[in-house]
């Protein structure tokens, strides 16, 4: 029996309800596979501030670092918006990511055929989209020094070292090797020196992956191509600020924010979370969509635990549940045979997983 320790951080708003459903599905998927998941819960975000006066208690950092993977819901809400910056839930999460040293953010975007109409983009443009954004997360202009805001001017600095570029490029090429073997590296090398180093370094890493086809694209063109013809992309490799914008753009291709998972890896322990926030407007009503968190749990199995077979089972079950017309309220207008509550959706996915 293989046994893994999972740090569970449910967070605020809809966090607890969606994480509970992901755990339900994980347990169903591991049953009969000789895999045991041991969950340990930790506080982070507004709920941690309320309980301890700190949005990121040391106990959470220590527990997470000792675990094999972290399953995360979402944090934040209006209640904590007026706190000093360093006490706000969002700053706890930023600090958490940097404590873990997770430098690679992975965001897949797939389009389910049954939900083609849910996107604002034409179905014929979307059909078959299956792309994977690899974004550098701990460097670039968000962290570069010097930075300062003065009375009449302000500045930030975009900095990347060769090593920072190399390690994120390796993640992208390794990801491509498990997919369609294409990497499109996105930069602004026509204007920025940092992008020129980015391009040269990515070319060097590519020499180790002769099977992978590498192309380069300027970020402004990529933003356009993502809505013009998103099917052309397999793996998109990019830096922090470009990736921030492009991955949000790519996420809208799928039509619902409630469907998309993410992983932050490369550091001590991987962090797996839906791309959406804590949705305080619908918290506690039983209408949130747990699928993004369920898919994040599948990513956790694949990228942190190496349990690809179980991950595949979960992803297939989600596709089958959507094919059969089960929808949460956010997708009720798109081919629903039955509109389910959050818990019902989790139970149905768990039932489907058990049958695979
Ligand atoms: P949000 O993603 O929480 O919500 C945006 C909209 O999408 C809302 O209408 C919400 O109801 C809907 N939505 C989100 N997830 C859904 C789901 N699973 N099912 C159905 N509908 C869903 O973004 P926001 O409203 O801008 O932010 C709310 C709070 O979340 C803020 O405090 C923000 O700081 C925080 N936040 C946290 C994270 C995180 O924890 N990683 C990320 C983004 C925002």
Q: Look up tokens 């180093």; give the residue.
A: 197
Question: b vs e for 61-97, b when ≥16 Cβ sit within 10 Å of the residue's Cβ?
Answer: bebbeebbbbbbbbbbbeebeeeeeebbbbebbeebb
Three state DSSP letters for the chain: CEEEEEEEEEECCCHHHHHHHHHHHHHHHHCCCCEEEEEEEECCCHHHHHHHCCCCCHHHHHHHHHCCEEEEEECCCHHHCCCCHHHCHHHHHHHHHHHHCCCEEEEEEECCHHHHHHCCCCHHHHCCCEEEEEEECCCHHHCCCCCEECCCCEECCCCCCHHHHHHHHHHHHHHHHCCCCEEEEEECCCCCHHHHHHHHHHHHHHCCCCCCEEEEEEHHHHHHHHHHCHHHCCEEEECHHHHHHHHHHHHHHHCCHHHCEEEEECCCCCEEEECCCCCCCCCCCCCCCCHHHHHHHHHHHHHHCCCHHHHHHHHHHHHHHHHCCEECHHHCCCCCCEECCHHHHHHHHHHHHHHC
Active-site choice (113, 220, 281, 351): 220
User: What's the rounded Cα separation, in Å, for the pair 44 and 55?
Assistant: 5
Query: Which atom of ligand 1 has the smallest separation from the CA of 11?
Result: 40
Q: Is 244 a catalytic residue?
A: yes
Distance (angstroms) between ligand 1 centre and the Cα of 282 equals 9
pLDDT at site 256: 78
Atom of ligand 1 at shortest distance to CA of 290? 18
Q: What is the mean pLDDT of the chain?
A: 96
pLDDT tens-digit readout, 174-183: 999 999 999 9
Q: How far is the CA of 290 from the centre of ligand 1 (A)?
A: 13
Distance 130 CA to ligand 1 centre (A): 24
All domains of the chain in start order, with CATH:
1-107+257-356 (3.40.718.10), 120-254 (3.40.718.10)
pLDDT of residue 254: 80
Whether 220 is a known active-site residue: answer yes
pLDDT above 80 (res 190): yes
* Residue 330 beta carbon below 6 angstroms from any ligand 1 atom: yes
Q: Over 80: is that where the pLDDT of 351 sits? A: yes
Nearest CA to ligand 1 atom 26: 277
Cβ(320)–Cβ(39) under 8 Å? Answer: no
324 annotated active-site: no
Tell if the pTM clears 0.85, that is, is over it: yes
Q: Residue 91: what pLDDT?
A: 87
User: What pLDDT, on the 0 to 100 scale, is given for residue 248?
Assistant: 86
105 lines ligand 1 (CB under 6 A): no
At 283-333, the pLDDT tens digits run: 999 999 999 999 999 999 999 999 999 999 999 999 999 999 999 999 999
In the predicted model, what is the mean pLDDT of residues 115-130? 92
> What pLDDT is stored for residue 255 in this prediction?
75
Give the highest mean pLDDT range of 241-250, 253-262, 319-328: 319-328
Helix 58-66 crosses helix 89-100 at what angle (to 10 degrees)? 40
> Would you say the CB of residue 282 lies under 6 angstroms from ligand 1?
yes
| pLDDT over 80 at 245, yes or no | yes
């Amino acid at each position: 029996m293989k046994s893994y320790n999972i740090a569970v951080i449910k967070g605020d708003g809809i966090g607890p309800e969606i994480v509970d459903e992901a755990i339900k599905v994980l347990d169903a998927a591991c049953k009969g596979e000789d895999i045991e998941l041991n969950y340990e819960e930790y506080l982070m975000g507004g709920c941690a501030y309320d309980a301890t006066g700190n949005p990121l208690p040391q106990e959470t950092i220590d527990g997470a670092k000792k675990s094999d993977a972290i399953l995360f819901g979402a944090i934040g809400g209006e209640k904590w918006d007026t706190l000093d910056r360093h006490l706000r839930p969002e700053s706890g999460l930023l600090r958490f990511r940097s404590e873990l040293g997770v430098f690679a953010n992975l965001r897949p975007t797939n389009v389910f055929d049954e939900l083609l109409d849910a996107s604002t983009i034409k179905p014929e443009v979307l059909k078959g989209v299956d792309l994977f954004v690899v974004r550098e997360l701990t460097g670039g202009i968000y962290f570069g020094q010097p930075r300062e805001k003065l009375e009449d001017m302000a500045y930030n600095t975009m900095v990347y070292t060769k090593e920072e570029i190399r390690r994120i490029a390796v993640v992208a090429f390794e990801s491509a090797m498990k997919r369609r073997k294409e990497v499109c590296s996105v930069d602004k090398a026509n204007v920025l020196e940092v992008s020129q180093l980015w391009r040269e370094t990515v070319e060097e890493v590519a020499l180790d992956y002769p099977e992978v086809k590498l192309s380069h694209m300027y970020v402004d063109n990529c933003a356009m191509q993502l809505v013009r013809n998103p099917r052309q992309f397999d793996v998109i490799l990019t830096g922090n600020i470009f990736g921030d914008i492009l991955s949000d753009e790519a996420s809208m291709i799928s039509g619902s924010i409630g469907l998309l998972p993410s992983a932050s890896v490369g550091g001590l322990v991987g962090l797996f979370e839906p791309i959406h926030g804590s949705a305080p407007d619908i918290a506690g009503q039983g209408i949130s969509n747990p699928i993004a968190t369920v898919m994040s749990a599948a990513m956790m199995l694949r990228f942190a635990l190496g349990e690809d077979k179980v991950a595949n089972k979960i992803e297939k079950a989600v596709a089958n549940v959507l094919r059969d017309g089960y929808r949460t309220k956010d997708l009720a207008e798109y081919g629903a045979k039955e509109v389910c509550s959050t818990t019902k959706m989790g139970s149905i996915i768990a039932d489907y997983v058990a049958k695979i």
